[in-house]
Structure 1
Amino acid sequence: MNLRAIVFVAAAVLFAAIDAISIDHDKVQPFPQPEPVTDSEKAAVKFKPRLKIINGCGVYSAVNTAGETSGGLKGTGGDSGCDDYGKIAPVSKFDIIDGTAPKFGVSTAPYVSDGYLYSTSEDGDSQDPIMWEQLTDAARAALETTDFGRADVPFVDKNFSEELEDAWPF
């Protein structure tokens, strides 16, 4: 194979990854949870969280194995489903764990720029963890390069270190 052909193939692959195809949010097939092999994968499965959507939209996969990304949900202009009355009450530390699964609530109140996550005693749905290394190359490339508007992907290379620093409590 000559150098010209190699460069052409490499460029085609690069442009295909950068120009990821956007598909309807409900057409993105989630990654199946692979059998855990490493210690971190086993821990992620053992302690996978239960997520209760308190306010806002449900969780949808953003990318599939081919690197096609969700086009997202389009706003309708209405805010009838956006009420948040600050349901805050003391939560027993024993109520926020279901066996080994921590229970989290997520809310995307209209007055908060990003969604927020907190401990809750409410039961939610189990979320299958997929580690970054378990994603296909096409999926990782799409998450790194797709513009999701105001939503930042926290675990891509350009954001990950800053997200860890922001999460550090000390």
Structure 2
Amino acid sequence: MNFRGLVIIIAATLAAVTARRVDHDKLGPIPQPDPVTISEKAAIKFKPQLNIVDGCVSFPAVNDGGDFSGGLKGSNGNSACDDTPMGSQVYGRAAWYNDKWAIMYAWFFPKGFFMGVASRRYDWSSAVVWIDNPDFATPAILGLSTSTSDDEYQRKSPAPDFGILNGVTPLLYRSISEVAGQPMLDYSSRTGDFQPLIMWEQLTDAARETLNTFDFGDAQVPFNDANFEEKLKKAFHSKLIHLIAY
């Protein structure tokens, strides 16, 4: 093993050792930084509003120090997670995929549900906003994909008119349907709430390390290094190839 490889392993080990499990309601959100890059500006421009219909509201998953949420046992409905006393968070990551610019937004939940019943510790939901080019003067939405389970996405290309406010803000709602199985995100005509956005590259090394290595069980982090590209593959709609503008 070369010296650089050894340093990386030692750094990862130290991060894992120093990261702490924190009560789900004691972990505060990371403030939304001022955007600097074109990618960051586009991510804020197209940030969705989220309306929580039922189940838990979204919570922060990690902090700058790499500390992570302890979550909640999969029992007792939305007890202890119907309000977030320290505020929520939305995580983002963006990249080119099949010549379209994909912006993924992800929300963390301290417990998961199945058929409307609390069933496990931890859950994630995510949405992908597909645009033509973040470098354009007026980039346009081409499509919208929303997670319907741990592994599947509902895909709309072009994006539904009623679900886009003023041409830039996707309106989403999350429901723990007793019929659909796992909680799902869907398009909405109702406004919701914004959460502070932190992009992958804006996170500290410690926070990224936790998101890359901590075991959230079946609730995989959709935007970490191991899962991001595969999630984009599942969220991509073939109709996007031929779309030019929203």
TM-score (norm 1): 0.78
**Contact in 1 for aligned 2:55/2:77 (Cα 8 Å):** no
Aligned to 2:41: 42
Report runs of 4+ in structure 1 exceeding 6 Å deviation: 7-10
In the alignment of these two chains, the number of paired residues is 155
Aligned to 2:191: 123
**Superposition deviation, residue 114 in structure 1:** 3.9
3-state SS, counterpart of residue 73 of structure 2: coil
Equivalent-residue separation in structure 2 for 1:110 and 1:146 (angstroms): 29
Amino acid at match of 1:169: H
**CA-to-aligned-CA distance 1:94-127 (integer Å, 9 cap, x gap):** 5423333211011233565543211101221112
Equivalent-residue separation in structure 2 for 1:138 and 1:57 (angstroms): 26
Equivalent-residue separation in structure 1 for 2:215 and 2:205 (angstroms): 18
- Correspondences of 1:30-109 after superposition (within 5 Å): 30-77=29-76, 82=116, 95-99=162-166, 100-109=168-177
3-state SS, counterpart of residue 53 of structure 2: strand
Equivalent-residue separation in structure 1 for 2:76 and 2:213 (angstroms): 28
Looking at secondary structure, tell me which structure has more helix per residue: 1
Runs of 5+ unmatched residues, structure 1:
84-92
3-state SS, counterpart of residue 157 of structure 1: coil
**Contact in 2 for aligned 1:61/1:70 (Cα 8 Å):** yes
**Superposition deviation, residue 134 in structure 1:** 0.3
3-state SS, counterpart of residue 40 of structure 1: helix
Aligned to 2:13: 15
Equivalent-residue separation in structure 2 for 1:78 and 1:61 (angstroms): 19
Aligned alpha-carbon RMSD (Å): 2.7
Equivalent-residue separation in structure 2 for 1:105 and 1:132 (angstroms): 23
Runs of 5+ unmatched residues, structure 2:
83-115, 118-159, 239-246
Equivalent-residue separation in structure 1 for 2:165 and 2:174 (angstroms): 17
Check 1:74–1:44 CA distance in 2 against 1; reply closer, same or farther (3 A cut). same
The reply on whether 1:161 has 2:229 as its aligned counterpart is: yes
Equivalent-residue separation in structure 1 for 2:75 and 2:178 (angstroms): 14
Amino acid at match of 2:23: D
Q: Which has the higher contact order (CA 8 A, sep 6+)?
A: 1
Percent sequence identity over matched residues?
46
Check 1:106–1:45 CA distance in 2 against 1; reply closer, same or farther (3 A cut). same
Looking at secondary structure, tell me which structure has more strand per residue: 2
Check 1:43–1:17 CA distance in 2 against 1; reply closer, same or farther (3 A cut). same
